[in-house]
Structure formats: C-alpha cells, structure tokens
Structure 1
Amino acid sequence: AHVVLPYHKTLDEIKELKRGKDKIGTTKRGIGPAYADKITRTGIRMIDLIDEKLLPKKLENNLNEKDAIFGKLYELKISNQEKKDILKKYREYGQLLKKYVTDVSLYLNQAINEEKNILFEGAQGTLLDIDHGTFPYVTSSNPIAGGACIGTGVGPTKIDRVMGITKAYTTRVGRGPFPTEMQGKLEESTRQKGGEFGATTGRPRRCGWFDAVLVNYAVRINGMDSMVLTKIDVLSDFDKIKICTSYKYHGETIKEFPVNLEILENCIPVYEEMEGWKGDISQITKYEDLPQQLKAYINRIEELVKTKVVIVSVGPKRSQTIVREKVFK
C-alpha cells in the first residue's frame, strides 16, 4: 500500500488547475500523483512508513525531487522547515499505524485455507478503471473485479463468484462522456430523490437513464455471475421509464460499448420506453409483491445484460433489501 503525502495533494490541485477547460474532475486528494510515484518506483509504501531507519532517506529523496519539480514547473518551494515537519509527522504516523500493518496476502490466504468466507468490495465503478474505463476521465487504479486479486495478493482461482452492483439508473461524478444523461428538472429531481452527491467531494452527481450497453460492458469486463439492482425506489414517480438498448453514431447502430471516446461523446442513445409503477414501494419486503411494471423493468434489464438480478433494494435501510436468490453461504 502506497502513502499519499502533502506534496501529492499539492501537485493534484496544481495540475488540475493548469488543465483549464480540459479538467478531468479529480477529487484533488493526491491519488493520481501518489500512483505516479508508484509507477516510477519512488513512492513511499506502508512498509517504508513503519521503518524508522529507512523512512528519512526515502522521504528526503522524494521531497528533494518534488521541490525541484515545484520550482522549475510551478515556481513553488518546499521550505526546509516544511520538509522537517513532514518527516516528523509521517514518522509518528508510521509508529501509530505499525500494529495494524500486516502481510495482507498471507493473512487472507491463511483464512481461505481455513475455509473462512471473504467478501471483497470494489470502490468506484467499471468506467473509472484506469485500463478499461473512459480514459482520461478515470481513477488511477483498477476498481474492476480483477483488481481484487492485484490489490490483495489472492489468486484468481480462489474467487468463487463475482456480483455486480448497479443502480436502477445511471450516475457519473465529474467530467466524461455520458450518453443517457438526463437534462434540467428531470435530472435535478432524480439527483435530489436519490441523494446523488459525491461521497468524497460532495459534488452533485450527473444522473441518466439505465444504460444496458454500458452495463453489458461491465458484465463482460468483470465476469459477473449476478447483479444487485439498487435505488429502484428513486424511479417510483415516473409515468414512463427509459432503458438505453443501443447507440447511434453517424447512422450506424452500436450495441457494444465503444472504446473510442470520440464515438462515445457524440453517439445518440436508442431507448425502449416502459411503463412506470407510480407509488411507494419502500415497505415491500417480498419480490413477488413488487408492482408488475417494476418486475417487467427488472426482467427487461436481465434480458439485455444477460445476467440475473438476485438482490433488489427499495430503500437505504438493510430491511429494505429484497433477496431473490441466496448468493452467500
């Protein structure tokens, strides 16, 4: 695990500011620059942070390098006092966290050998994946299912199943292509009802109709066995509900998610329109009691993405989760 340091956050803010109208929508938390250090093999890892003898030298090298970058590119300076303060603070952090640091791969594989159950949860979403997302509007890591193996040191043959989680509509935070994005009051009402504001920055999320082309891509990239459909209650006020089944680009019908950003930014979504189920569903606890129109919506999603929806949520509480099929041991 690599450590985000103050100079990473400063770099993140400066670079985003310098992009002007071409901002990528970073959270400015220093994640990208920390990953850059990882790739250039200069980053500070947790194992370095807890090593009181090694940390000062590695941190000094990094601070001197960043100071040179700040000076030559941005006319900024890291003072000697700031360098001393960072070293002191992060040495303390290392000793404070030391008892929580372990060999995660060994720990988890021992648990697997003892037949314990392990659940990996990915952050963010498929289209924010550094390799398979809408580059450059992506994060710096691999939040797809394969990232669980890379990030934990658990081999792929140890993974029993992959469950995808998606909302009953589509959202995106920050910049980037969004073919099914709603507009005006429709988007705002969906945002407010769904509480669609970024967990890290509080930025309003962009909202759109369910995009089966996109979800099909996510099913393929992640190797999903089943799906969870959340926030279905947010759509309860609509008379008609749309599902995007394909895109149009210069008259051509596109059914597979395009990797070309130019196409994705300029394609037109093709919709099927379904009847809404108008009414409060938040107290329903059995799948068979859901409105027929809602079950038809779920069935159509399953047909389009070729994956069964095994769990449906009709509200934010645990009691508002409807399990159609037992997926955990």
Structure 2
Amino acid sequence: MRHVIVADLGFGDAGKGTVVDWLCARGPEPVHAVVRFNGGAQAAHNVVAPDGRHHTFAQFGSGTFTPGVRTHLSRFMLVDPLALAAEAARLRALGVPDALDRLTVDRDALLTTPYHRAANRARETARGAARHGSCGMGIGETAAYALSHADAPRAGDCLSPARLRRRLAAVRDWYRDQFPGGEPVPDVADCADAFAAFGERVRLVGGEHLHRLLRTGNVVFEGAQGVLLDEWHGFHPYTTWSTTTFANAETLLAEAGGQDAVRLGVLRAYATRHGPGPFVTEDPALTAELPDPHNGTGRWQGAFRVGHLDAVALRYARDVTGGVDAVAVTHLDVARARSDLLCCRAYDIGGRRVDRLPAGPAGDLDRQAALTRRLMTARPVYTPLADPVAAVEEILEAPVVLRSYGPTAADKESALAASAAAPR
C-alpha cells in the first residue's frame, strides 16, 4: 500500500480537488478514504464529474463523487458543523445521498462557530485598506481562540450538551467583548441544538480510527490552501492560520506506525493568487484574459490574480516542505493554447539577482514579514516557457506524474496509471 499526501505548492487554487478526485476515481491503486489534514470550511476544491456535475468541496474529501470513498476529518481540521450540513445538502442534490454516512470526525478537532465567523469578518473589516485577505469563514479566529483558551469547543463536546453550551457561551461572550456592536449572532441555545444534532448524526472517533483506516487500504491525505500561505513559512501577514505543508499528514502517519506516503505537489502551469499579498509574477493581462470559472473576486478574499510560472517561489515551496516525490501539473490545456506564458527564473531585488529565497526554520514571523517586504519590491526575470512540464521537473527536481488538460478525471494523463497497468 502507498498512501498519497496532496499539497498545493503555490498560493492555493492549483487544482488539489481535481487531483484527489482522479486518485480516487481512476488512480493506479484503489483508494478507500480521503483524510483532511488542515484548514476547514474555507477550502474550495472544485471537482467536475464526467457527467458535468460540479461541486466545490470544503470539508468533505474531494473523492466523495466516487462511491464508497470515505472522508475522515483529522484532529488538525477546524470543523464547522453548520457549513458541513449545508455541504451535505448540496451533495444530496447532486446525487450523493450518503456523504454523511461516509464521514468520520476526530473528537479532538476544533469547532468553528458563528461567533468565530463574525469575529473574523469584524477584524478584517477593521483593517480597512490594509486587509490581509480572508475567506471570512472564521478559520483564523478559531485557531487563535484555541491558543489562548483551553476550553475552546471541540467536536467531542457535541456529545456533552452542558459542556457544549458552556463553551459556546464563552466564545459568544468573547466575541461580544472583542467587537462590541458587531454583527448579530445566533443564540447559544440554538447553536448548541444544531451542534448537538451534528454530534448525533456524524460518527465522532478517536485517533485510533485513522490508524485502522491506514491499515485497511490506500488513503489520500488532502491538504487545503497552499504552501506559500503556510502559517509559519508563508509571506506574513498574508497567510493562513494553518500548516499547509506535508507536516500534519506526516505527523498522523508517524502516529500510526510510520507508514510511507508519496508527497505529491500540485501546481498550475501558470501562477495564481487570491487576495492581497506579494505576487512577483502577477500579470494584469493574464488576469483579464484567463478568468477562472470557479474562482473570482470575493467579498472577503479579494480579487483572483494571475501571473507567470515562478521558479523562485516553487523552489522556496520545495525547500520549506523538505522536497516532493512527484508533481501534478494542472491547466496544461491553457499552456497548450498560449505562446505568451513565461517562466520567472530569478528576482531582481534592488538591482541584485536572487534565484533562491531563504527557507528558515518555522516560528520566526518577524523574519517572514521581512521577507514579505523584500518581495513587495521584487521584479521578475523571465525566460520563455516552452515546455511547462520540463520546466517544473527541472525546478522541483521531481517527476511530473500527472498532467491535467481539463477539469474532469477523464482529462488527466498519468505515468502512475501507465506504470500500474504494465506487466509485472
């Protein structure tokens, strides 16, 4: 058995969902579960089925269109029961009636509440023109609250009504103290009832459940957002409150006995970024000419931005993750149709050529903020992009094993599948 960890090597939106869907639907080995290992309801992993059905997966694994594939939300997930119920309803409308039946949630996973969400929006609004960028879903507030409050609500609390209500009331009171006059929020009693219903409907499990999943069959670990947004290695403060590298998945694997997994990095044939922050290869012409049907300007995220392939940023992502075993490149149909895409081989920063960014140890946000300030002044040094696949293999020193020329699993070409089909 070989498990796979899927992580985005950019700023997100590279196509993790369509890659996970392919691994589950058509990959070289059967997959029986998808494990989410970071982020929460802010994830937006778009999957288009061959029959045209489209769903933006947030908390359910992106393999859910494949019958029988389970989803497990690990303890590193920030679980939003209300958003999860809404997503399950959307999946039922698309002909997937059993998504909740195939779901398990670790009891230690933090809960995102309407109070976290309201605090998130109030804080981001207060920043005015200096917004950091946010999905407005309360993810950062959930993580920050848990760091300073030992009684932060967790999934297991949904099975203990008195404790659940007490902890929800504490979050509500914290929100009101932090943001007097903020947007209205639901009553604690109503929120507690909804969360208790979630606890009754969904199977809440301990850490040993994942260990059994890993022993039973192949598992895909599905990451959210991108390495360049990582809470410790991203370009602070334009980052997420989540570890977006392979680290959380590898921790879960180590706890289960140190099972092996393939580190699969995902990127587009060109670069994108959603919202504010440094983006050295941004090209307004590409932004105008390459609209994305599933990504646009959002009230909280801001604009969807497009640029050229960035070797410097990709090397940095490789370095802070410790390297990748294999790569999936998406949107190659776009690269095939255009001759004007470029590859940034270095940055010009104050007249100095820089082809590699320093990848220090996690934990020094002052260093990351200083790096951000440098990147804000950087200018790209371009060469033509004749062959995106060859360029990516050279930059990342890893093979491209999956090429995606469209949104469905049928639009993928894979060396993995060819290898698995070969005589042994």
The TM-score by the shorter chain falls in which range?
0.7 to 0.9
Instruction: Trace 1:113-152 onto structure 2 (pairs within 5 A).
Output: 113-114=215-216, 116-150=217-251
Which residue does 2:354 correspond to in 1?
254
Per the alignment, residue 62 of structure 1 pairs with 171
- Are 2:133 and 2:301, in contact at CA under 8 Å, matched by a contact in 1? no
The aligned residue for residue 102 of structure 1 is: 205
When residues 75 and 120 of structure 1 are mapped into structure 2, their CA distance, relative to the original with a 3 A threshold, is same
C-alpha distance in 1 between matches for 2:183 and 2:333: 52
Q: Would the aligned equivalents of 1:44 and 1:59 in 2 still touch at CA under 8 Å?
A: yes
Matched, 1:239 2:342: no
CA deviation vs aligned residue, 1:42-86 (integer Å, no higher than 9, x gap): 31000112212422222233333333333xxx345979x823333
1:324 has 2:324 as partner: no
In structure 1, C-alpha distance between the alignment counterparts of 2:341 and 2:304, rounded to whole Å: 20
Pairs within 5 Å for 1:6-25: 6-25=114-133
Deviations 1:229-278 (A, max 9, x none): 11111123323321011111111111113541111111111111144xxx
CA RMSD of aligned residues (A): 2.8
Q: Tell me the SS of whatever aligns to 2:161.
A: coil
Q: 1:84 aligns with which of 186, 189, 196?
A: 189
The 2-side partners of 1:244 and 1:5 are apart by: 42
- Unaligned ranges ≥5, structure 2: 1-108, 359-367
Matched, 1:38 2:146: yes
Contiguous gaps of at least 5 residues in structure 1: 276-295
Secondary structure at 1:119 match in 2: strand
Aligned counterpart, 2:19: none
| Structure 2 Cα separation of the partners of residues 11 and 135 of structure 1 | 20
User: CA contact under 8 A between 2:282 and 2:306: conserved in structure 1?
Assistant: yes
- Partner of residue 219, structure 1: 318
**Larger relative contact order (CA 8 Å, sep ≥ 6):** 2
Q: 2:401 aligned with 1:298, yes or no?
A: no
- Taking only the aligned residue pairs, the percentage that are identical comes to 25
Aligned twin of 1:291: none
Q: 1:254 to 1:21 in 2, by over 3 A?
A: same
Match of 1:289 in 2: none
2:262 is paired with a residue of what secondary structure? Answer: coil
2:375 paired residue number: 264
Q: Offset at 1:326?
A: 4.8
Deviation at residue 225 of structure 1 after TM alignment: 0.7
Aligned-partner residue type, residue 211 of structure 2: N
Shift of residue 143 of structure 1?
A: 1.7
Q: Could you say which structure has the higher helix fraction? A: 1
Q: Structure 1, residues 295-324: CA drift from partner, whole Å, max 9, x if none? A: x43213211221211111111121211112
Q: State the match for 1:307 in structure 2.
A: 398
Cα distance in 2 between the residues matched to 1:30 and 1:205 = 20
- Range with greater deviation from structure 2 (306-315 or 236-245): 236-245
Letter in 1 for 2:315: N
Residues 135, 218 of structure 1: CA spacing in aligned structure 2 closer, same or farther, 3 A cutoff? same
Larger radius of gyration: 1
Residue 120 of structure 1: how far off its partner (Å) = 0.5
- The Cα of 1:187 is off from its aligned counterpart by 2.0
Maintained 8 Å contact 1:137/1:175: yes
**Partners of 1:54 and 1:119 in 2: how far apart?**
34
Q: Secondary structure at the match of 1:248?
A: strand
Q: Name the SS for the 2:188 alignment partner.
A: helix
Displacement of 1:139 after TM fit?
1.3
Q: CA contact under 8 A between 1:108 and 1:154: conserved in structure 2?
A: no
**TM superposition shift of 1:212:** 1.0
Output the CA distance in 2 between the equivalents of 1:219 and 1:180.
Answer: 18
Letter aligned with residue 170 of structure 2: N
